[in-house]
Amino acid sequence: MSQLKQPVTEHDHHQGSLGAAAVLVEYGDYECPYCARAHRIVKAVQGRIGERILFVFRNFPLATIHPHAELAAESAESAGAQGRFWEMHDILFENQLQLGPDLIVAAAQELDLDVQRFMGDLGGRVYRERVQEDFLGGVRSGVNGTPSFFINGLRYDVPVEVDSLTAALELAARTSRASRPQPHGMPAGR
């Protein structure tokens, strides 16, 4: 079973508490239809579990087969620099069939970003290195396709469905809490 080689840090794009007992990391591509499906599943799982999990998204653009994937990843990073990563992330997946420069500019306007700064970031490839770091971290972790998921550092190779992913995350949270050292006099699981 593959292990996550690049540990989760506060610099990752994340939703939920960094102290959550269950950590779900996705390596994804904004132009991958399987990632768009996984996006809806992750949203449903988050709706069920909420803040009890930490969700991290990392870029893994498969540029050789998805011509807009790298631009989309850099767009999400640029939006993130203006505090709107998750909003851009959602727009890109929810409008995947229209993915391209026109959608990206329209999304930046819709999100009320500083569009001049945003376009300058894209033109200057300001976030190219960040996207490449995510990609290389995925390669080191054995990622060879998208979406690829890790739960508490271990590759999740079960088909991604709402019920199975929810169950795996809940099990990981219980296992993680039970194995943590507790302060003197405190039972596990509190």
Reply yes or no: is the peptide bond before residue 187 cis, omega within 30 of 0: no
Q: Is the pLDDT of residue 178 over 90?
A: no
Mean pLDDT in the chain? 92
Q: Is the pLDDT of residue 187 over 60?
A: no
Q: Nearest-CA neighbor of 80 among 71, 89, 69?
A: 89
* Residue type present at position 169: L
Q: Is the pLDDT of residue 175 over 50?
A: yes
- CA 188 distance to own-chain centroid: 30
Q: pLDDT tens digit string along 49-81?
A: 988 899 999 999 999 999 999 999 999 999 999
User: What's the confidence (pLDDT) of residue 184?
Assistant: 37
Q: Is the pLDDT of residue 190 over 90?
A: no
Q: pLDDT tens digit string along 142-174?
A: 999 999 999 999 999 998 999 999 999 999 999
Q: Would you call 44 exposed, middle or buried from its count of C-beta atoms within 10 A (0-12, 13-18, 19+)?
A: middle
Q: What is the pTM of this model?
A: 0.91
- Using pLDDT thresholds of 50, 70 and 90, give the confidence band for residue 177: low
Q: Which residue has the higher pLDDT, 51 or 105?
A: 105
Q: Nearest-CA neighbor of 40 among 28, 51, 52, 54?
A: 28
Domain edges within the chain? 13-179
Strand arrangement of the beta sheet that strand 53-59 belongs to: 13-15, 53-59, 22-28, 148-151, 154-156
- Using pLDDT thresholds of 50, 70 and 90, give the confidence band for residue 29: very high
Q: What is the CATH number of domain 13-179?
A: 3.40.30.10
User: What's the confidence (pLDDT) of residue 182?
Assistant: 38
